[in-house]
Amino acid sequence: MYKIVKKTLLAPQIYLMDVEAPRLAKSAYPGQFLIVKIDERGERIPLTICDYDRDMGTVTIVFQTLGNSTKEMAEMNEGDFFHDVVGPLGQPSEMVHENREELAKKNIIFIAGGVGTAPVYPQVKWLNEQGISADVIIGCKSKDYLILEEEMKAVAGNVYVATDDGSYGFKGLVTNLLKKLVQEDNKHYDLVVAIGPMIMMKFVAMLTKELNIPTIVSLNPIMVDGTGMCGACRVSVGGETKFACVDGPEFDGHLVNFDEAMRRQAMYKTEEAKVAYREHDKNDSGCGCGGV
């Protein structure tokens, strides 16, 4: 059993939780993820590790209430327990293994979309601990959905915010802001790391290919089982089949077949909707067949 020691509402439908998991906290690195199960029969929920405290023995997760399982998670409170928390899973960020002197020579910018700000944070924090400063772009629908801005400012070089509605920071897409920084403000970047919705990462990769900037993306959005057994996270990278949960989640953004990955992601969203419909029908009529 894994105790929830902190719960915070960061934005509408977006929650942060600190969970007691000492062994996981001691071995976690930026870029990795964990799997949470609410109870014995609960769904396996893969979540990227937002932060970890080796001394306190806690890991931090951030999630948005989209499906039934995350809605159940949102109803849990401090003092409640998860049945299982498994990890760390996946490969750490490539930067963890890179030569520190060579890494320090690079100008790096992270692009975070929505809840993708959470997995960006530990990477920027880790770089800061190595004495390396990185820039960050955070994109969201409006100021109301902006998360971890102050935490990011404490560990990043420059933090830029882009909102779709212009309610805060730059008005427009993160790709337009990156283009402005490079082409108008004469910023030079040797590496882009993009984490967020699949469609955002696709268009970031398309832009950075034009700008000739190497780009890493995280394919955590297409995970289901998280161990490679279900095959849901199969993705084509440079014409080769990879599994996001065991080979990734980070890959060369210029080699990822995003259209294929998004089709796979949509397929599982459709299946979840069917399950939800059947549950609704069962509750209403007692039949449970749903006709689907």
CA dihedral 207, 209, 210, 212 (to 10 degrees): 120
pLDDT of residue 147: 95
Give me the residues of the chain with pLDDT under 50, please: 270-292
Q: Hey, what domains does the chain have and what are their CATH numbers?
A: 2-89 (2.40.30.10), 98-218 (3.40.50.80)
Which tokens sit at 264? 């796979």
pLDDT of residue 24: 93
pLDDT of residue 48: 87
pLDDT of residue 263: 80
* Residue-wise pLDDT tens digits, 220-246: 755 555 555 566 667 888 888 887 777
* Residue-wise pLDDT tens digits, 88-104: 888 888 888 888 889 99
- For residue 16, give the H/E element and its range: strand 14-20
CB of 14 within 8 A of CB of 64? yes
pTM for the structure as a whole: 0.84
Torsion sign, CA atoms 85, 145, 220, 124: negative
